[in-house]
Amino acid sequence: MKIKFKTVGAKYKVSTGVIAMILLFFLSSRVIFDSPFEEENTKLNTPVSINNMTVEMTDRTYFSDNHMLEIDLMITDSLQDIPPKLDAIVKEKSNKRKKYHPEIIKIRDDFYVLFVRDIPEDWTAVSVQLTDENDEDSSSIGSSKKIYSSSADTKTKDVFVKRNQDYYEAKYIDLKIKNNKKLIQEEEKKQKEYAVEITQINSRISSLKEDKEYQIGKEKEETESQISSNESKISSKEEAIKTSKEMLGELEKRNELLKKRKSNLVIED
């Protein structure tokens, strides 16, 4: 049966409507049946906000002998009063409908290891959607962001060796020491910058004092006010240096204690 259109405009409207319906069908089917990966890789040590916590992927390894992916996760910030009870939904890009049964092992309140078995050898990328069973806000599926690991950016080892708790505790300690060293460098940089600024301000004060010798009245008062203001700035920066040195001392002490703690671990080869 042929449909006759009275005008070219009517034919155009019908064609546009049909195209729109087709596009809508494909878009909805992708969302319902085969949600696309928004990205294929999350860089290591990149903070990702997931509901009421911030997570960093600190390490990842694929073991080809048993097709297992291991991902280390650090909780760098949490708004919860109690440690998270993590669960994960894992999907592999080549077969997003396959269900995985990940295992999450808690090493510390802020450090977890995720194991995902039966990842195919030719895998390209994996998405991990974390939820916290202790957090009502993360209970609904799709409410949290995902982290991604691509095969190209994941270490591969031939053989998986089961490690004890102390092995992962040592990895956790090394991360803490590394982060503290970074903070120490930042504090040392701050102190140097403050010292340079103090030298510059002192030079400015000297110039103002020289100028003041040849000034009278209101001009002299304004110069004295500038000198006083700059002296206050120096006091403030000297106090900042003192606080920074105290922080640096605390960080160095923490690293000493972390190294001592690590030395007491029994790490299996």
Q: Do residue 61 and residue 77 come from a single domain?
A: yes
pLDDT at 81: 79
Task: With residue 46 as reference, give the H or E element that holds it.
Answer: none
Chain segment 65-105, per-residue pLDDT in tens: 999 999 999 998 877 778 888 999 999 998 989 999 999 99
Interacting residues of 234 by C-beta distance below 8 A, sequence separation 6+: 198, 201, 202, 205
pTM summary value: 0.79
Note the pLDDT of residue 233.
97
Cβ–Cβ under 8 Å, residues 46 and 56 = yes
- What pLDDT shows up at residue 138? 57
Domain range holding 147? 48-162
Task: Indicate whether 28 belongs to any domain.
Answer: yes
Same domain, 102 and 174: no
d(CA 80, CA 202): 47
Cβ-Cβ contacts under 8 Å for 247 (sequence gap 6 or more): 183, 187
**Buried b / exposed e along 30-45 (16+ C-beta atoms within 10 A):** eeeeeeebeebbbeee
Q: What is the pLDDT of residue 77?
A: 80
Domain boundary among 120, 138, 162: 162
Residue ending a domain, choose from 162, 179, 200: 162
pLDDT in tens, the chain (269 residues): 444 545 555 544 545 554 555 545 444 444 433 444 555 899 999 999 887 889 999 999 999 999 999 999 999 887 777 888 899 999 999 898 999 999 999 999 999 999 999 999 999 999 999 988 887 765 544 456 899 999 999 999 999 999 999 999 999 999 999 999 999 999 999 999 999 999 999 999 999 999 999 888 999 999 999 999 999 999 999 999 999 999 999 999 999 999 999 999 988 76
The confidence score (pLDDT) of residue 141 equals 47
What is the predicted pLDDT for the residue at 269? 65
Q: What's the pLDDT score for residue 205?
A: 96
Residue showing tokens 């956790």: 172
Provide the domain count of the chain: 3
Residue 23 sits in the same domain as residue 70: no
Residues 120 and 206 in one domain: no
pLDDT at 34: 44
The per-residue pLDDT for 30 is 43
Which helix (H) or strand (E) is 22 found in, with range? helix 8-33
Question: Measured between alpha carbons, how far is 95 from 98 in angstroms, rounded to an integer?
Answer: 6
Specify the pLDDT at position 33: 35
Are 183 and 209 a contacting pair, CB within 8 Å? no
121, 139, 162: which is the final residue of a domain?
162
pLDDT in tens, 125-135: 999 999 888 87
- For residue 127, give both structure tokens: 């998405």
Same domain, 154 and 208: no
53 and 99 within one domain:
yes
